[in-house]
Structure 1
Amino acid sequence: MKKRKIPLRKDIVTGEMFPKRELVRVVKNKQDEVSLDPTGKKPGRGAYIELDVKIAKRAKEERTFDKAFKIKIDDDFYDELIAYVDHQQARKELFKNE
């Protein structure tokens, strides 16, 4: 049986490559609205970040998505990102044995 290729994406904060499933996509649409894209299917320019709270906090400190999308992004978005990543990380820990 043929082995399936695992899609890799680059974490915008660390520059490391990870399987797409271990990252969360952040997307900017044509109206310059930035949002989380858990499905990975929203239209617009996307950037990926690892599901790690430390990395999300580092993105907030360095204003990583401001630089990537070349627009000013509110702290509310970064707080939402940190909360989402924290939740997903907790879920991953909880369900890792299944």
Structure 2
Amino acid sequence: MARRLAKVHDPSPFRGKSRPKAGDGAGPVRTCVACRQEAGKRELIRVVRRPEGGVALDPTGRASGRGAYLHATAECIELARKRRALDRALGTAVEPAVWSELTRRS
């Protein structure tokens, strides 16, 4: 009699397959640290912790350092400030000048 193998639960529905991307598939996809929604890289603002210290906005998306992405809306900026989402994502405190620059860009 043949022995039956038990079905093993696969925790990842994408194991062995490429993960589907948000948007139309044109370009990289990133996640907003405030609302946790995926969006195209160009739709988000990148905030970077620079290697020499300090936090700054990265309009080019190419600055070196640890980066985090945020929607350019007042709701996401306020939510990130309230939850300290940028502070946690970057591993350092975000200065008030950076918050005011983000608010100005929204």
TM-score (norm 1): 0.74
Q: Which one of the candidate residues 49, 69, 90 is aligned to 1:48?
A: 69
Q: Is the 8 A contact 2:34 2:80 kept in 1?
A: yes
Q: Any gaps of 5 or more consecutive residues in structure 1?
A: 87-98
Q: How far 1:4 moved relative to its partner?
A: 6.7
User: Aligned Cα RMSD in Å?
Assistant: 1.8
TM-score (norm 2): 0.69
Amino acid of the structure 1 residue aligned with 2:71: E
- Percentage of matched positions with identical amino acids: 31
Looking at CA atoms only, which structure, 1 or 2, has the larger radius of gyration?
A: 2
Which amino acid in the other structure matches residue 30 of structure 2?
R
Aligned pair count reads 83
d(CA) in 2 for partners of 1:31, 1:78: 20
- How far apart are residue 26 of structure 1 and its match? 0.5
One of 33, 51, 67 as aligned partner of 2:54: 33
